[in-house]
Structures are given as C-alpha cells and as structure tokens.
C-alpha cells in the first residue's frame, strides 16, 4: 500500500471518528486499512427511514486520486443500486475528486437513498416503480428496511453498531475483519 493512500485513510478515519456525521459510520478492518466497513442509516422522511444499511469500501494505492469501490452488503431496492450492491453514483466514477473523503462519500450515498436518479438506473424495476408506482416502490423499500434490521452480525461487516432513537450511531469496533472478502 502506498504511504500517501495510508496517510489519507488515517486522516479520513480521524475525521469520521472525531466529528461523526449523524447517520453514517465507518472504520477500517483491523489488519487492512485499505478495506473498510461502513453503515448508513436511511434518511429521515424517506422510504428508507429507520433502515440500517451496511457497506464495504475497498481502496487502492491511488486513493484519494481514484475513488474506492463501494458496495452495499445489505440487500437494497433502489434505482441507483445494482443487484450485487454496487452503486451508480457520479462521484464514485467520472465526477470523483480527491477532495472527497470517506465521510463525504457516505453522506452522498445516504443522500442518494433520499433522492434517486431514475434517469440513470442501475435497477430498472426500481426506477420504473419509483416513477410509475411510488406506493409499490415504497412498499418494497419498507420490506428491505425491515430486512436490514436482521442483518446477521456473524457475516460481514465485522462492525457492530448501537443506534439510538435520534439516529445517532455509536460505533463499537469489533475485530476479525480480516476474514471478510474484498469488493469484486
């Protein structure tokens, strides 16, 4: 791993732990600072409200000049999220800038949950329902929200979280992340 990428990731970790953003949380795996586990709470007043969604971030030596690969580990139903959990978001592709850090990327992903872009779908069914049948879209999303509560902590990510009623995340770092597979 490059010294520059490692230094930047440690800076990102310091920022996200010292100035936590309500609704997002992340930490690197114990034995690999290039792989992080994260969580995003569903935005208030959205169909994703009360959802607790887990993600995996994989960084390369080119970080922060190239974006991390990010996938949802939690099953998602969203116009801009592929069935394998990959995210269709411009800042993770052609609009990436080295000014983005882990916190800002996770916040952007959380915002995407509230503001899907149906014109650029990764999930055609979700996009169609979002545009043509919002009530059916919301019903399916609510089901995925409920399923997010049952995420098995024995499977990745190896982070556990305590969520209070005000959607504040308190992160408890749990070891053994090295067994988690990288993002493909």
pLDDT digits (tens, 9 = 90+) for 46-79: 999 999 999 999 999 999 999 999 999 999 999 9
Average pLDDT of span 93-119: 96
Contact criterion met (CB below 8 Å) for 176 and 159: no
Q: CA dihedral defined by 43, 127, 81, 52, rounded to 10 degrees? A: 30
Q: Is 29 a catalytic residue?
A: no
Percent residues over pLDDT 70 in the chain: 82
Active-site entry in 22, 29, 88, 177: 88
**In the chain, where the domains are located:** 3-150
Q: Give strand pairing partners of 58.
A: 35, 69
Higher pLDDT, 32 or 59: 59
> Per-residue confidence at 151, pLDDT binned at 50, 70, 90?
low
Cα–Cα distance measured from residue 63 to residue 154, given in angstroms and rounded to the nearest whole number = 29
- Whether 88 has a pLDDT exceeding 70, the answer reads yes
Could you tell me the CATH superfamily of domain 3-150?
Answer: Ubiquitin Conjugating Enzyme (3.10.110.10)
Is pLDDT above 90 for 152? no
* pTM for this entry: 0.82
Average pLDDT over residues 103-124: 96
Asked whether the predicted pLDDT for residue 105 surpasses 70, the reply is yes
In this predicted structure, the answer to whether residue 116 has a pLDDT above a threshold of 70 is: yes
């Amino acid at each position: 791993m490059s010294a520059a990428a490692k230094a930047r990731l440690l800076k990102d970790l310091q920022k996200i732990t010292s100035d936590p953003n309500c609704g997002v949380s992340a930490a690197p795996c114990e034995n690999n600072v290039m792989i992080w586990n994260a969580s995003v709470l569903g935005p208030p007043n959205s169909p994703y409200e009360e959802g607790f969604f887990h993600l995996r971030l994989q960084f390369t030596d080119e970080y922060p000049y190239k974006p991390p690969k990010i996938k949802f580990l939690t099953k998602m139903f969203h116009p801009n999220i592929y069935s394998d959990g990959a995210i269709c978001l411009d800042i993770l592709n052609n609009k990436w800038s080295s000014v983005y850090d882990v916190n800002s990327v996770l916040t952007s992903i959380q915002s995407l949950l509230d503001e899907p872009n149906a014109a650029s779908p990764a999930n055609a069914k979700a996009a169609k329902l979002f545009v043509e049948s919002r009530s059916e879209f919301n019903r399916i999303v609510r089901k995925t929200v409920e399923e997010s509560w049952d995420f098995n902590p024995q499977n990745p990510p190896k982070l556990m979280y305590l969520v209070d009623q005000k959607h504040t995340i308190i992160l408890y770092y749990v070891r053994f992340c090295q067994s988690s597979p990288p993002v493909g």
